[in-house]
Structure 1
Amino acid sequence: MDASELFSFIKDFGFPMVLSWFLLVRMENKLASLTEVIGELSCNIAALRGEAPKR
């Protein structure tokens, strides 16, 4: 594989790969916080029902 083919692959696939990585990293942080909030919500619902919270 020569340099022109390598640069062609980077040009064609580099940007989509970097963009996908960036979006996955951002989404991972948001999913982690969403998971935490859902856990807190289930504890609050259990407390309102008078049940012991499940962990």
Structure 2
Amino acid sequence: MDNSQSLTYLLTAISQVGFPIVLTGYLLIRFEKKLEILTESILKLTEVINKKMSGDINEKRAI
């Protein structure tokens, strides 16, 4: 296949399944943002747990 046939095939495929492609792209962008927020929350939670655990260890040593 040459470039013009490849382009024609690609355009035909997009025209046949264009809506699912657009919808999938939109959802992937939305999920990416939510995953970034979730990742930040998990990192903050990890920090809080580590601080709590180190505080518990220091309290046990003091006893």
With normalisation by structure 2, the TM-score equals 0.63
Bigger relative contact order, structure 1 or 2 (CA pairs below 8 A, ≥6 apart): 1
Q: Which is higher, the Rg of structure 1 or of structure 2?
A: 2
Q: Which runs of 5+ in 1 are unaligned?
A: none
Looking at secondary structure, tell me which structure has more helix per residue: 2
Report runs of 4+ in structure 1 exceeding 4 Å deviation.
none
Which amino acid is 2:34 matched to? L
CA distance in 1, matches of 2:43, 2:28: 22
1:23 aligned to 2:48? no
Percent identity between matched residues is 18
Give the match for residue 39 of structure 1.
Answer: 50
Equivalent pairs counted in the alignment come to 51
